[in-house]
Amino acid sequence: MQTNKETYQALIESYNKGIQEKNPSLIREFLADNSVEILKDDAAYYLEILQLRAGAFSLFGELKEAGEEYRKGYSSCSKNGKWVYGLNWALQFMAEFSFKRGNEKIEEAMSEGVKVLDQAFQDLPEDKYQEFYHLCLTNVKAFMLLTSGKREEALAIFNDCKFTPVPIPEYNDKESLQMLFANFTKGFAVAIELKNLDLLMNLMKVISIDDQVLYSQGNLFRVFYETLVCAFDMRAEFITEFNAMFKIKDALTTLTPEFSKFLGLIGEQDFDKLDEFFQGFDKK
């Protein structure tokens, strides 16, 4: 009889083989292997395999099945880990933007993501970073609301955020607040799509490390761009997400036309048009 470790390693090998060979049949074999349930009494192994299974289902566009894999593991999460697991679960639904199956499918996926995030908010741990975790979840939920047509609701949920600047030691610590930086562009997407200056400034305040730039009376786009570039330099996960958004900009054309336009202009490095674009921001 296999030990849990042996079962886990066999499943990992099965998954890796299918992925590395880009072989749908092998990936299906991995998904058909129910030995993952043997690992239930070993949370670390169980949760990792469930998340791999969810990712594999997503490759086939089967997001409901992916969600079910995450659902199985939620009760096995530690108290402090539940919100991150819930966030990853919700983010799984973002895969819909890559499938080009129409806006109705996107709205359906985003609605499922929002439901999961509502639970994650309830499970936030009470520690010194709680407000940053809260902002992280808010950025994702707001983006999901925005892309499912609930624009006013997307803006309103930021009312519960504190927008405290990330302390410099945490900013410099590449291991700290990774989930916040890895999901920050989604918040910017809401501010840019709605051309809301207050939200944009509040979000910049959180990740800016140069108050002189942030509160200068200079051109709004230049202030925003300098804030972005600094975050790009300091936090790899921030630029990774920004690039991921850029890859789905065509899918966002009808859902968030202003943000999609912004991504296009950034891609072209058309600073004159970006200056003009940011002149349209108003306090609301």
List per-residue pLDDT tens for the chain, 284 residues long.
789 999 999 999 999 999 999 999 999 999 999 999 999 999 999 999 999 999 999 999 999 999 999 999 999 999 899 999 999 999 999 999 999 898 999 999 999 999 999 999 999 998 999 999 999 999 999 999 999 999 999 999 999 999 999 999 999 999 999 999 999 999 999 999 999 999 999 999 999 987 676 766 678 998 999 999 999 999 999 999 999 999 999 999 999 999 999 999 999 999 999 999 999 886 54
Asked, for residue 88, whether it belongs to a domain, the answer is no
Compute CA 144 distance to the chain's CA centroid, rounded to the nearest angstrom.
10
- 164 and 40, same domain (yes or no): no
Enumerate long-range contacts of 46-51, CB under 8 Å, 24 or more apart.
46/73, 46/76, 47/73, 47/76, 47/77, 47/85, 48/8, 49/8, 49/11, 49/12, 51/88
Question: Residue 135 is part of which domain span?
Answer: 101-278
**Domain count of the chain?**
2
- 172 and 244, same domain (yes or no): yes
**Token pair listed for 273:** 């048009």
Burial class of residue 66, CB neighbours in 10 A (0-12, 13-18, 19+): buried
- CA gap 156, 158 in Å, rounded: 5
Asked, for residue 283, whether it belongs to a domain, the answer is no
The pTM score is 0.92
**Residue ranges in 123-209 assigned as alpha helix (H):** 130-147, 151-156, 168-172, 178-181, 184-193, 197-207
- 140 and 260, same domain (yes or no): yes
- CA gap 178, 271 in Å, rounded: 29
Asked, for residue 87, whether it belongs to a domain, the answer is no
**Token pair listed for 170:** 């945490």
- 143 and 263, same domain (yes or no): yes
**Token pair listed for 260:** 């999609």
- 47 and 108, same domain (yes or no): no
